[in-house]
């Protein structure tokens, strides 16, 4: 990779992309800077993602380095691809993960089609790495295992990975903050973004109610079949959920759902065995690493069923429709629709990812 290569850097107004920019410049690149604007396709009460504040910070950083800055509106693409996916997944009684789809379809999908194709590389401030081997470029965990974001990047294709750069993947969050402070960046102490941006000021239940409404159903204790209470629709709940059930005599955990009858099955106790499992399936997997998976032969791996610093040991077996997974330790709340991401035993390379079933 030559410093003469053209680079598009996605910046957010946050400290990570600002430091990514500084590191690219130090390596001799002169990236063009882009902010992806997303938001509701129609008016949505309470929507507020601090976009104006983000853009102001982006402009300050761009001016500091004397680089081109442009806002790329992808409102319609985001709401048609990511938000509609979220809604349809909830209708099916499954648990969506819009962050993975946003990276796959928007940041490295729609942006590529609109602007990114003009550049040799696209860079971001994600905590991840790309390792170049003889047979290609592959997704690798970041130095900072607590901040590592490879889970959210695991549905990218080989074509997408070929042109990605992650300039801060080899440093820690504390090092990023230090660099930003030493260079007097205006966002040096800015808090990391949290939650789902398209919800804005609304809480999650309000967002779901706005799009899917309410429908009375029953909470049923899974072992006795006893009705414990009522709810406003199965789409408000996910497997493993404890908070927000509004039931007395708890704690209660969501165990599974009957979509046709709008029933949410629950179990009582601080650690009910019903909320744990050690088996899952990955259907229609995205294979990111050219490893030889022999059918019906177990392979030792590590994995995650959600974004967390913790890796779990497991064995995976390839079958005709995907992969069967057996984890070494019991996992809390294996939620169909969420994504499982499989790594090698050393927790370095991303091997396989896909939606989970049980």
Q: Does the active-site annotation cover 197?
A: yes
Above pLDDT 90, what percent of the chain?
Answer: 81
Helix (H, G, I), strand (E, B) or coil at 112: helix
Q: Does the active-site annotation cover 49?
A: no
What is the secondary structure of 176-196 as a DSSP string? HHHHHHHTT-TTTTPPPP-S-
Q: Are 223 and 316 in contact (CB under 8 A)?
A: no
- The answer, yes or no, to whether the previous bond of 251 is cis (omega within 30 of 0) is yes
Q: Write the class of the CATH domain 7-199.
A: alpha beta
The pair of three-digit structure tokens given for residue 48, joined into one six-digit string:
């507020």
Distance CA 214, CA 267 (A): 23
The pLDDT tens digits for 5-48 are: 999 999 999 999 999 999 999 999 999 999 999 866 555 554 55
Distance CA 102, CA 252 (A): 32
Distance CA 342, CA 235 (A): 27
- Please tell me which residue, 202 or 226, carries the higher pLDDT value: 226
Residue 339 has pLDDT above 70, yes or no: yes
Q: Are 355 and 283 in contact (CB under 8 A)?
A: yes
Q: Calculate the average pLDDT of the chain.
A: 92
The pair of three-digit structure tokens given for residue 117, joined into one six-digit string:
């194709």
The pair of three-digit structure tokens given for residue 236, joined into one six-digit string:
């408000």
The pLDDT tens digits for 69-79 are: 999 999 999 98
Distance CA 55, CA 191 (A): 16
Q: Write the class of the CATH domain 214-270.
A: mainly beta
Residue 308 has pLDDT above 90, yes or no: yes
- Please tell me which residue, 272 or 314, carries the higher pLDDT value: 314
Helix axes of 84-91 and 204-212: crossing angle, nearest 10 degrees: 80
Torsion sign across C-alpha atoms 305, 306, 312, 318: positive
The residue from 197, 222, 316, 350 that is catalytic is 197
The residue from 62, 74, 102, 142 that is catalytic is 102
CA 49 to chain centre: 18
Q: Are 269 and 252 in contact (CB under 8 A)?
A: no
For the chain, the structural domain boundaries read 7-199, 214-270, 277-357
CA 43 to chain centre: 25
Identify the pLDDT of residue 140. 98
Identify the pLDDT of residue 101. 94
CATH 2.40.30.10 is held by the domain 277-357 = yes
Identify the pLDDT of residue 203. 75
Distance CA 19, CA 16 (A): 5
Helix (H, G, I), strand (E, B) or coil at 169: coil
Q: Are 327 and 257 in contact (CB under 8 A)?
A: no
pTM of the model: 0.92
Burial of 259-269, coded b for 16+ CB within 10 Å and e otherwise, reads eeebbbbbbbe
The pLDDT tens digits for 259-298 are: 999 999 999 998 889 999 999 999 899 999 988 877 778 9
């Amino acid at each position: 990779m030559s410093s003469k290569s053209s680079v598009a850097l996605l910046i957010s107004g946050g400290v990570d992309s600002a430091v990514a920019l500084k590191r690219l410049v130090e390596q001799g690149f002169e990236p063009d800077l882009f902010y992806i604007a997303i938001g509701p396709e129609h008016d949505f009460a309470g929507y507020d993602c601090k976009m104006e504040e983000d853009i102001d910070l982006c402009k300050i950083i761009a001016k500091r380095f004397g680089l081109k800055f442009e806002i790329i509106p992808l409102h319609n693409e985001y709401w048609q691809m990511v938000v509609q996916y979220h809604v349809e997944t909830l209708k099916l009684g499954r648990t969506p993960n819009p962050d993975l789809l946003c990276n796959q379809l928007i940041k490295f999908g729609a942006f590529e089609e609109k602007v990114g194709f003009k550049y040799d590389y696209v860079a971001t401030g994600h905590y991840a790495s790309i390792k170049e081997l003889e047979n290609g470029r592959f997704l690798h965990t970041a130095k900072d295992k607590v901040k590592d974001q490879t889970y959210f990047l695991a549905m990218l294709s080989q074509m997408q990975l070929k042109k990605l750069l992650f300039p801060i993947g080899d440093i820690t969050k504390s090092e990023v903050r230090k660099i930003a402070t030493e260079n007097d960046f205006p966002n040096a102490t800015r808090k990391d973004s949290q939650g789902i941006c398209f919800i804005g000021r609304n809480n999650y239940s309000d967002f779901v109610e706005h799009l899917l409404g309410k429908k009375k159903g029953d909470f049923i204790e899974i072992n006795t079949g006893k009705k414990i209470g009522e709810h406003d629709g199965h789409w408000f709940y996910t497997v493993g959920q404890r908070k927000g059930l509004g039931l007395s005599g708890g704690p209660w955990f969501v165990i599974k759902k009957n979509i046709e009858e709008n029933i949410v099955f629950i179990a009582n106790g601080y650690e009910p065995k019903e909320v744990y499992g050690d088996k899952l399936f990955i259907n229609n997997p995205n294979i990111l690493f050219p490893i030889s998976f022999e059918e019906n032969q177990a392979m030792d791996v590590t994995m995650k069923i959600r974004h967390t610093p913790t890796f779990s040991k497991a064995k995976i077996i390839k079958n005709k429709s995907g992969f069967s997974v057996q984890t070494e330790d019991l996992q809390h709340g294996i939620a169909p629709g969420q994504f499982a991401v499989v790594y090698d035993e050393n927790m370095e390379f991303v091997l396989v990812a896909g939606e989970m079933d049980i």
